[in-house]
Amino acid sequence: MKKTIALITGGYSGEAVISYQSAATIEKHVDKEKWNCYTIDITPSGWFYKNPSGEKTDIDKNDFSITVNGKKIIFDAVLVGLHGTPGEDGKLQGYFDCLNIPYTSCDAATSALTFNKRYTVAVAAFAGMSVAKSLHLFKNGTVTAPDILKALKLPVFVKPNNGGSSIGMSKVNEAGSLQAALDKAFKEDDQVLIEEFIKGREFTIGVFTAKGKVIALPITEIITKKEFFDYEAKYLGASEEITPANVEESIAEKVRTAAKNAYAVFNCKGIVRIDFIYDETSGQPFLLEINTVPGQTEASLVPQQVAAMGWTLQEFYTTLIEECFTK
């Protein structure tokens, strides 16, 4: 008998637009012979399922069920395709844990931790991984731009501490540009992370678990046409993404090892994408961040890496769903 899967999309942040694109890709490639899949839209105005004719059915939040044509549908598992809050920061994972519904992403604790960029790099550093020197700022705090310039060397990256898709992120090369970058980031979040720039090659790599084995996908090298890999570079074609990366095996092995180590240290589940800068001077990959619900649009990095590994997306999503039942 086929199991019934809820594919969640939408969200409460500016990343919702990417969530819908990811969900469209996932829904297209879910094996309909194995799974009954219902796309559930989670928005600030309500949670609902929309049938093929466009009619909306509200989710019963008591047990995360829907009633269609008089029949109550209970979901066996949740396929997480929702970027940003509440699908990537642990809120929904905690809710599903309370209902004993398995899901394809990291658990609530790991999701909450990795959604906070500062806490991510702090834990990574504690575990012996290389990370950039950084400062963590709070809205209405007392740290000023001159304080930052005393503590960190330019150039620096200024980014919202919680969130993704590089929304609100800036690279600051001159002291006079720092305050504007802070204001931009604080429009997106009450916390801001400022990191020293590390010169090197930018790599990103997907890691997932299949039948209990941790698998690193082929590495992608990001060569951006912008100053950094911002929203335009990620989603509007202003970058070159080389998958698999044209990189020496000795460097590739360091990146794969660092990625698998991070996956273990942070107790990750499902598919995550981990971003690194490879510093050629030190010969070490520096961890930038961990994305626990990486993009699944047709142009996204993980689908590129899955294809480079020789898998179809249908095989990949089937593996993620099957694995979530073993947690």
Identify the pLDDT of residue 145. 86
Question: Does 198-324 carry CATH code 3.30.470.20?
Answer: yes
How many angstroms separate the CA atoms of 78 and 120, rounded? 25
Residue 309: its H or E element: helix 301-309
Q: List, as one string, the DSSP characters of 40-94.
A: EEEETTEEEEE-TTS-EEE-BTTTTEEEETTEEEE-SEEEE---STTTSSSHHHH
How many angstroms separate the CA atoms of 152 and 75, rounded? 49
Identify the pLDDT of residue 233. 46
Identify the pLDDT of residue 248. 97
Measured CA distances, 209 to 84, 215, 306, 317 (Å): 22, 6, 13, 12
Looking at domain 3-105, its CATH architecture is: 3-Layer(aba) Sandwich (3.40)
Identify the pLDDT of residue 166. 67
**Strand, helix or coil for residue 133:** coil
* pLDDT tens digit at each of 327 positions of the chain: 899 999 999 999 989 999 999 999 999 999 999 999 999 999 999 999 988 888 899 999 999 999 998 999 999 999 999 999 999 999 999 999 999 999 999 999 999 999 999 999 999 999 999 999 999 999 888 888 889 999 999 999 999 887 655 678 899 998 888 999 998 998 888 889 999 999 999 999 999 999 999 999 999 999 977 555 444 444 445 679 999 999 999 999 999 999 999 999 999 999 999 999 999 999 999 999 999 999 999 889 999 999 999 999 999 999 999 999 987
How many angstroms separate the CA atoms of 80 and 124, rounded? 25
Identify the pLDDT of residue 101. 98
pTM for this predicted structure: 0.89
| Two tokens, residue 272 | 């995550």
103 DSSP 8-state letter: B
CATH no. for 134-196: 3.30.1490.20
Identify the pLDDT of residue 177. 86
User: Are 3-105 and 134-196 the same fold in CATH?
Assistant: no
**Domain regions of the chain by residue span:** 3-105, 134-196, 198-324
